[in-house]
Amino acid sequence: MISIGGLLLGLINIAIVVVILMLVGAIVVWFLQWIFQVAVPWNVQRLYIGVVALIALYMLVALLLGFPVIHLIGRADAWRILPA
């Protein structure tokens, strides 16, 4: 069962991931145009936006159905060296 607070935090998390991925893509396009004078074709940019949209869709479905996406922060014993 998902709570309203958990749902809101999950949606905010998805929005943050999408913004970061789009920012990375914009920086790559800017860097290629600035340093190498190479324009990234619009179809490649649309493909990247599509990949970001698929990642967001996967995260949304995982949030609604309760599937784990990636656990970087979670179990306290995941990185424990000594046995419990």
Q: What is the greatest pairwise CA distance in the chain?
A: 56
pLDDT tens for 35-79 read 999 999 999 999 999 999 999 999 999 889 887 766 665 555 555
DSSP conformational letter for 41: P
Phi, psi of 71 (to 5 degrees): -105, 95
Residue 14 confidence class, pLDDT cut points 50, 70, 90: very high
Rounded to the nearest 5°, which phi and psi values hold at 21? -65, -40
The pLDDT value given to residue 84: 52
- Summarize the confidence of residues 22-36 as an average pLDDT: 95
